[in-house]
Amino acid sequence: MPDRKNIEAIFLEAVELPPDQLSSFLDRRCGDDATLRAAVMDLIQADRQAGDGAFLRSHLFANDTPAPETDPPVESVGDGSDRFRILRAYRQGGLGEVLLAHDRQLDRDVAVKRIKPRWADNNEAQQRFLQEAKVTGRLEHPGIVPVYAMGTWPDGQRYYAMRFIEGDTMKDSIERYHRRLQHSDSDDVKRLQLRDLLSRFVDVCNTIEYAHSRRVLHRDIKPSNIMVGPYGETLVVDWGLAKLLDEPVDESMTADLARELAQGDGSTPTRVGGTVGTPQYMSPEQARGQLESIGTRTDVYLLGATLYQILTGRPPHHEDSITRLLERIAAGTLTRPREIAPNIPPPLESICLKAMATEPADRYADPNQIADDVNRWMADQAVSVHTDSIAVRMNRWMRRHRTATSTLAVAVVLLAIGGVLGSILWNVANVRKLQAEQERRSKRLELETKDRQRLAELQTAADAAETLAQIEVSRDRFSSALDVLRNALPSLQSEPRLADQADRIGHQADRLKALVDFYALAETVEQQNVLSRDTKALLACTTALKRLGIWDRADWWSGLPDKDLSAEQLDRLQWDVYQQLMLMDAMLVKSIGVRLSGQGRVGGAGAMLRAAGRLLTTNAGMTEAQAALVVSDRIDRFRVSESTRLYRSIAKMRLGQGTRLQGRDLGQTRNGADAHSLAVLSMIAAIDPSFELVFRGYQGDDSLLTARDLFARSAALRPKYYGTHLGLGQVHYLIAERRDDLHWEDLAPALHAFGQCITLLPQRCFAFADRSSTYRWQADLIAKDQRYSPGERRRRVTERLQWSLEDAQRAMRSYDSHPWVGWQAGQAYAQVNQVDRALRLWIKTAIDTYPLGDIADVRFVAVDDLRGRAEIGDWLQQQLAKPKSDMRFDRVVGFTALAGVRLNQAREEEALAAIESALAVESDNIDARAIRGMILLRERASETAHVDFRAVVDVDPDHPLGAFGLAQCLERQDRFAEAAEMFLTAENAALTGENQAAAALGRCRNAALAGDLVTAEVAVRRALDVEPACDLLSTVRTIASELNRMTHAEPVDQIRVDALKGFITSLAKLPRATKIEVMPAAQPERVTAASILNGGFELDSMRYWSSDSGAPWETTPGFHCSAQISRQAHTGNHSLRIEASTLDEPPPGNTPAGRTGQEFSVVAGRQYSLSCWVKAENVSEAAMRILGPNGETLMEFDAGTYPWRRVAGSLRVTQSADGQHVAPGTIIPVRIKIVARGSGTLWIDDLTCESQTQKE
């Protein structure tokens, strides 16, 4: 093998030679050594490619001559499951190639990346490929492509599957922007285009900041490694050069490669002579090959280089030789951006140069600082690295204070006029005349100038507000867009000449307010639903759907405030509403069970007996059943589901109109929301066997596996729904729990699902808490895994525990609203030997989560026990049973924590034993005394409890348990006024709405009994506000009992008796969330639209249209026919274009045809009008038509060539797909088909279906 130093010496001489002298030079220096000559030529070729972006495609991974590459065949990828079917090649890089594939398991298109065949046998290539997969999989952020799976092909090649991204690179966007600068676009258009690029640049900064927080450097940031999606996505790709900061330099991939280079092996395209990165964007420390100096500020430099190209249109470094290029970079030589393009704003140049400072210490400290300065510039604010001139600052001040500026301008004019008048004072008569005339003109000029400027200012501000609001809407930032419009409205409304624009902006603001309210309330619904807090969730859900007018019309999807939304956003909104209706239906049905069974577990045998008795003797659950039928109707009118079949049967059973279906009676789920609903029921049945009395037998006997499959289907159909991924992760976790041969890798599916949740909604705590627990479990499994050496086990365990702690700390940010996260966070602390911290957190969590009062909601399972509480109690019990010498923590704190856990589990005897052990050692521990007081209070030992609570409150007046417990003791002593005051203290100290409501109701009771009915009314309204499901009935009973005692006492205080009676009556009239409102049923006589989705094909795809086989368009063998989305449209931007040509001799027995179709809901027995707009070109007779559910022709399109015309047909359905008669008024699914059987080209647009006006 030639010596590396000799290769580089010859290369450095040869690289400067003209091309015509190169061959003779190599003949002299290399002689007959073909291997030496080939190595030098590889370096020369790479050097030449560095200037044109082909550097990453150079052949420096191996010395072997690479084999020619061919397009990949259509093949399956997997370990026997044939999960991925390769469709075609998509993109090629230097090391790998990206293939478009179809994921058969989840029915979606994905990108599969594999090493090119030429590098398949190269160890370094494989290392780099695995490094990229590892790093990308470790990072979970909206700006980073998620990895779905990784595996090995039958031939031994590694691959990994990831999200398929369609779009351009930022390099393409920059080139388009600078091409447009050469044309005559207005300055406003150019500014908007620049702002869009800068906004995406800020997104990149945020992504790199996240990567740094996960201890990852990218090291190859450049516009061609940034993908720009069509819907606002900005993703940083190609993490092949990424470095984990946790690994020392000499263990990194680049160091390994350096050793191989020193031994004479080949070089990588991104490393020559010790450098790492792409030369055109490389930082000085990269150019010098100083690997130990490469850190987070290296990425800052690369971000600055990307900004440089945004501003100038070209990379920051370019030279005709790589040698000279690296020398220039290492010396810090850089052409200032304004020398290339003088019109670049100076602050942006300063930001760029600060980021690209030669010394890392002189750069921004982190990507967030760059983003902040760019955001400041876009907001017309001063940036931190640039001092504006006085003129610039004055202009900025004038833009922000236009009215004052106008006044000043007029004043200057007046001063000038005054000077002229002063010069002619010698003529008194003329002076007076001119002065009077000038004053009139000046005033008129001042008024006109002010008016014009004010109007222009308002018009400009309004136009800018509308433009900015639309940009924000396009990026799903509805709240931000609403703020922009609201800020513009007041000044517009004061100007009558802009009334039309004010009305337009006002209506847009109303629409956006409805969307903002809906999504905010939907967030509450989903969080409360996860916690089984159905009353709060139902209240929020009802309000959310009202804000969108869902109850105003049966075809609610046609009346959404969608005027400002894209087709994609409208489609997402429709399904979000559908999901909320599904959640509401499920909660209503659950409420039927709660009303029938009373307190306790809905699925238990005792509950079923209670429910049977109440079913026959009371009206409990009737209102919920009526509401459920209306909600089911709204759901099925959009898309029929199996979930509503079940819910409707339960509601009808309660109303005495039918029998309840079982799980085994249901068919396959029909959409993502449907699959999610049945997955939740299956998961509950798996966790609580008694619930199988309510729901069992759906798709087999193993409810947990059924739940997994249903959640997976839902996630594939609705990949952006948080609740589905959370449920999927929890089911994977539960499945792992029951395995005997569990390995740590088996928890990967759960981690992936939780990671998807965090990517979607990083502000929610649920997935962070659950992923923290999963990482802890992985650490336990790895610690016992004999496949690894002790050192490797320690490293992997430490890594998992660190990740667990990080996630736990993120979950703890939500402690004030979700204190249950303290259970899991404490476990993470304990695992990293912060046991004392864990114990104190568990005590705090036990105090904050202990329910001080009853609520109307019933949980199917003990959620806190599943989230670690039960495990904590058992662990504490085991630790406290050890000898004192083996204890890892203070026994008093340990026993107090154990007592808190057992008290929360309603295991009072164990709690009392533990707390007595704590108090035997430290009798004045206030947490221990508070816990003992609560136990004694439940045992009706209020006098002893009073002593404990008084001792607690004397030390800490705001102790949550101490204040509440003392208030209860005072109430039992009939010291009502004092109790009311103490309940107020407890209310302010309580953390959860449930406990705040319990304290507020206590204040209400005692204030009422003390005669202060004003305070009592304020308190009860406060209770209902913070916890709609609070136990108001017990408060009424207490006051009524006192009223009964007063009525029979002698003498009777009639005034007080009458006041209490009136107060009790007023309580009964209060609006409560537990009083379900029955929504209006659909009105049969109203014209309603059927839910044909994407009938205008504005989604720029054939989504929702498919043939019987599932393909978007199906053609019989031998018939030439295709369907694709066209930009020739009747309305909107797209239509469906069908092109067909007949065969002279079709195959025997085969009717040539191409077809697609869609299934949607209609009301049986009702007459519908189906219509569309069509345009034809050389269409033959009877070539194109639309068929009904039974194959009947609904519309046949005329032959010939003609422009857009409307075509209509009638549809009436009286039987189901299997030929069964259906009662009129029943909502059923029907399928229509678009069929081509002849030749010609047909465009179809605006396909709709509406009911006719006659009554059903």
Q: Does one domain contain both 454 and 534?
A: no
One-letter identity of residue 187: D
- Residues 199 and 656: their CA atoms lie apart, in Å, by 59
**Banded model confidence at residue 1215, pLDDT cuts 50, 70, 90:** confident
- CA count, 13 A, side-chain hemisphere, 1158: 20
* Helical spans, DSSP H, in 1144-1212: none
Question: Which of 424-438, 762-776, 1142-1156 is predicted with the least confidence, judged by mean pLDDT?
Answer: 424-438
Q: Does one domain contain both 257 and 326?
A: yes
Q: What is the model's pLDDT at position 647?
A: 93
Contact 344, 338 (CB under 8 A): yes
Q: What is the model's pLDDT at position 60?
A: 30
- CA count, 13 A, side-chain hemisphere, 918: 27
Asked if residue 964 belongs to a domain, the reply is: no
List CB contacts of 505: < 8 A, sequence separation 6 or more.
462, 465, 466, 485, 488, 489, 492
Give 21-79 as a DSSP string. Answer: HHHHHHHHHHTT-HHHHHHHHHHHHHHHHGGGT-GGG-S-S-SSPPPPP-PPPS-EESS
Q: What is the DSSP letter of 691?
A: G
- Specify the CATH number for the domain of residue 311: 1.10.510.10
Q: Using CB atoms within 10 A of its CB, is residue 404 exposed (0-12), middle (13-18) or buried (19+)? A: exposed
Asked if residue 1032 belongs to a domain, the reply is: no
Q: Does one domain contain both 320 and 273?
A: yes
Instruction: Pick the closest to residue 407 from 437, 440, 459, 442 (CA basis).
Output: 442
- Residues 1229 and 1160: their CA atoms lie apart, in Å, by 5
Q: What is the model's pLDDT at position 367?
A: 95
Q: What is the model's pLDDT at position 81?
A: 43
CA dihedral 786, 789, 790, 793 (to 10 degrees): -70
**Banded model confidence at residue 884, pLDDT cuts 50, 70, 90:** confident
Q: Does one domain contain both 258 and 371?
A: yes
Last residue in a domain, options 892, 923, 939? 939
**Banded model confidence at residue 1119, pLDDT cuts 50, 70, 90:** confident
Question: Which of 76-80, 518-522, 1150-1154 is predicted with the least confidence, judged by mean pLDDT?
Answer: 76-80
What value does the mean pLDDT take over residues 1056-1061? Answer: 85
- Specify the CATH number for the domain of residue 1196: 2.60.120.260
Asked if residue 37 belongs to a domain, the reply is: yes
Contact 179, 205 (CB under 8 A): no
Q: What is the model's pLDDT at position 51?
A: 38
Asked if residue 122 belongs to a domain, the reply is: no
Last residue in a domain, options 427, 462, 496? 496
The per-residue pLDDT for range 807-816, each reduced to its tens digit, is 999 999 999 9
Percentage of residues in the chain having pLDDT higher than 70: 82
- Specify the CATH number for the domain of residue 848: 1.25.40
The per-residue pLDDT for range 758-777, each reduced to its tens digit, is 999 999 999 999 999 999 99
- Specify the CATH number for the domain of residue 143: 3.30.200.20
Q: What is the model's pLDDT at position 818?
A: 92
Percentage of residues in the chain having pLDDT higher than 90: 47
Domain count, the chain: 8
Contact 843, 927 (CB under 8 A): yes
Q: What is the model's pLDDT at position 398?
A: 62
Asked if residue 1001 belongs to a domain, the reply is: no
Phi, psi values for residue 1233, rounded to 5°: -130, 135
Alpha-carbon separation of residue 141 from 234, 805, 809 (angstroms): 11, 19, 18
Q: Does one domain contain both 210 and 276?
A: yes
Q: Are strands 84-92 and 216-217 parallel, antiparallel or unpaired?
A: unpaired
Q: Does one domain contain both 541 and 567?
A: yes
Q: Does one domain contain both 193 and 250?
A: yes
Q: What is the model's pLDDT at position 293?
A: 82
Q: Does one domain contain both 487 and 614?
A: no
Q: What range does the domain containing 761 cover?
A: 699-805
Q: Does one domain contain both 218 and 330?
A: yes
Asked if residue 1068 belongs to a domain, the reply is: no
| H or E element that contains 311 | helix 296-312
Last residue in a domain, options 805, 827, 856? 805
Asked if residue 927 belongs to a domain, the reply is: yes
**Banded model confidence at residue 379, pLDDT cuts 50, 70, 90:** confident
Q: What is the model's pLDDT at position 769?
A: 94
Cut 0.85: pTM above it: no
Q: Does one domain contain both 780 and 913?
A: no
Highest-scoring range by mean pLDDT, 107-111, 728-732, 938-942:
728-732
- Residues 1121 and 983: their CA atoms lie apart, in Å, by 77
Contact 839, 893 (CB under 8 A): yes
The yes-or-no verdict on residue 401 having pLDDT over 70 is no
The per-residue pLDDT for range 36-46, each reduced to its tens digit, is 888 878 777 65
Q: Does one domain contain both 898 and 834?
A: yes
More confident residue, 286 or 426: 286
Asked if residue 477 belongs to a domain, the reply is: yes
The yes-or-no verdict on residue 1093 having pLDDT over 70 is yes
Helical pair 428-474 and 478-493, crossing angle rounded to 10 deg = 160
HEC secondary structure over 74-127? CCEECCCCCCEEEEEEEEECCCEEEEEEEECCCCEEEEEEEECHHHCCCHHHHH
- Specify the CATH number for the domain of residue 760: 1.25.40.10
Query: ∠148-150-152 over CA atoms, to 5°?
Result: 150
| H or E element that contains 1228 | strand 1227-1236
- Residues 682 and 66: their CA atoms lie apart, in Å, by 54
Q: Does one domain contain both 199 and 291?
A: yes
The yes-or-no verdict on residue 654 having pLDDT over 80 is yes
One-letter identity of residue 626: Q
